[in-house]
Amino acid sequence: MGSSVIPGAFDAHFHLNPGEHGKEAVKRYKASGGSGINLVNLPDYSIGYSDYYERRYEVTIQLADMARQSGLKVSVTLGPYPLDYFFWEKGGFNAKQMMLHGVELAAKYCRENRASALGEVGRPHFPVEYRVTEDSNEIIERCMQLSREIGCAVVLHTEDLDPTGLEGIHTMIIRAGPNPRKVVKHHASPEFNRICPEISRSILASRDNVRNAIRENIWNFMLESDYVDDPAKPDKVIPPDSVPKRAIMIREQYKNHEEIFASVFQELPEYVFSVQI
Ligand SMILES: [Zn+2]
């Protein structure tokens, strides 16, 4: 799309690992018309416990530099993954305390403008004991407080949220005080885009999801592949070029594609992730 005023695709939730596989994914993304990604920190429990977040965040920062050198606009999201809880528990640590340390460290990167969001933080996406939910909610609220203080975004990984679930997040937002538009529900269901609409969404870029989200006619969403860059699970969650491919679909099928592009691939990503598209 280069010289056109229409922005290229922006993938709001993209992961990378060191190595050739990740470089290939970036190439494939760019070749399909992608111009920017929000790169989200990945857990790696094989590296052991000592300085876990320190080491993981540095890996993600280096991968962001790699993607920038390949010509992409990149924002960075750092934080403790919800399932880190079980990793810490298994090692005999106080999980909440370790994850809160991960949050404060990520906030430091945000203060230094080396990252623009805390995430993906939240709750395990499957049923867990009450105390895990309680601790996870405390971690979410701390992230929201930091978002209020620093102005960084919060990318939420949770169980699928129905209207009641969204109201619950909204209640936490009221309590902790972040700008709700800076809070992004990752893996959101487009049919609920009108529930608590001030919360931003990032929606898995399947064809159906994109059509459903556009049909809601409310521009509070971005698109994501949630690409995990795992050679053992190629093209998961969906292939790395999914968002650029949906961009082509939008251009071909919607008369108002310029309005859609401006919101989904430029205005909202710029606002949420402070990235210049
Ligand atoms: Zn993810």
Find the CATH number of the domain harbouring 24: 3.20.20.140
**pTM attached to this predicted model:** 0.96
Q: What are phi and psi of 127, to 5 degrees?
A: -60, 135
Tell me the CA–centroid distance for residue 243 and ligand 1, in Å.
15
Q: Hey, what are 129's tokens?
A: 């004991």
Q: How many domains does the chain have?
A: 1
Tell me the CA–centroid distance for residue 255 and ligand 1, in Å.
32
Tell me the CA–centroid distance for residue 157 and ligand 1, in Å.
7
Tell me the CA–centroid distance for residue 226 and ligand 1, in Å.
5
The tens-digit pLDDT sequence of the chain (277 residues) is 443 456 799 999 999 999 999 999 999 999 999 999 999 999 999 999 999 999 999 999 999 999 999 999 999 999 999 999 999 999 999 999 999 999 999 999 999 999 999 999 999 999 999 999 999 999 999 999 999 999 999 999 999 999 999 999 999 999 999 999 999 999 999 999 999 999 999 999 999 999 999 999 999 999 999 999 999 998 999 999 999 999 999 999 999 999 999 999 999 999 999 988 7
Tell me the CA–centroid distance for residue 40 and ligand 1, in Å.
7
Which range marks the domain in which residue 34 is found?
11-273
Does residue 90 sit within a domain? yes
Nearest-Å Rg of the Cα atoms of the chain is 18
In sequence order, which residues have a C-beta less than 8 Å from that of residue 117 and are 6 or more positions away?
38, 75, 76, 77, 78, 79, 110, 152, 153, 154, 155, 184, 272, 273
Does residue 236 sit within a domain? yes
Calpha distance 117→100 (Å, rounded): 15
Does residue 6 sit within a domain? no
Give the DSSP H/E element, type plus range, for residue 86: helix 84-90
Tell me the CA–centroid distance for residue 150 and ligand 1, in Å.
23
